[in-house]
Structure 1
Amino acid sequence: MTLRTDTPKMLDTPPIPVQAKLAAAWTSFMFLYIYVDYYHLYKPGTIDDILVGVVFEFDVSPALMTAFLALIAIPALMVVLSTALPARVNRAANLVVASLYVPVTVFNAVGESWDWASFYALSIGVELLLLAFILRSAWTWPRTSAVPADPAAIDRRQDLRREVPVQDPTE
């Protein structure tokens, strides 16, 4: 009789850089943001309002369209900035922008009827969860210690310092 002693191998979960997590979260936020606006067009009366030049109780104007473009361009830029900026600036930018988008996201439900509560609760809820993930990821950004935790590394560094000859600047 043969006993099977092989155990299934565990899946490896390699660490994902914070920058990649942030870029992925901003990408998800963008997709949701765009699709919520797109699906809003199916709401009865929305297209009729647009055709007469009204969006969300505002008259359609170049200033309104510029504001809408800015609202969508900022998270779009955060996708690339999350991968390109240095850590300290990246962290600050993500904390500031995500914090500013929390009230912007909640504002999308202002003035809507209770008939559409499930649509807005789900869409705004998921957007807020993504923003919370961004805020948490940026807030808990890992830090490197100034001194290595490995005592052997400290000893090696001290040995290297002793080996480097120091020249007298007056010579």
Structure 2
Amino acid sequence: MAVLTVLIEENIYGRQAVKGQISVKFLGIEAVTKANAENITSAITAGVYKGLASVMLGGKSGVVTRLTADLPHVLLIHCMPHRLELNFKDAASKNPCHTKLDALLTGLYTFYHYSSHNRANLKASFESLGKKPLMPTRATGTCWVSHLLTALDHFLQGYSAIVQHLEQVYP
């Protein structure tokens, strides 16, 4: 049974204009321990202080605000994969099936994440079926597509144990 692992890294590119000539260079990759504004800013800042530059958008207290406070000359834009992910999320949110799937995955995550009793009983269901426990995960987050894929993977692989447990809870 394969388990999907999400690794978060920021690709850092520098763009500069010298005498009207624009150049873009790949400057490096910085690992991010958790995909939130604080950690992404720290990773990019670490890259910048290693002699790198960065590109990325944020919000009021997001990456843009944090970086431009220290580096006002840096122009921040979304990378193409992130733009694609945002467009995919926007299109998916208009699909009624996606809305139902999101509600299901969020409900399962909440049901097991916030109750140690439910979590323990789900683990027992996995064990009774001879399967390795695979808890429902959050289907939302900064890296939305990878979170959704992980949550869906855990749901599909753990379907029989989840059904068994829920049938015991709600006969």
Q: TM-score range by the shorter chain?
A: under 0.3
Question: When you count helix as a share of all residues, which structure comes out higher?
Answer: 1
Question: Which one has a bigger Cα radius of gyration?
Answer: 1
**Normalising to structure 2: TM-score of the pair?**
0.25
**Normalising to structure 1: TM-score of the pair?**
0.25
Comparing both chains, which one has the higher relative contact order based on Cα–Cα distances under 8 Å and sequence gaps of 6 or more?
Answer: 1
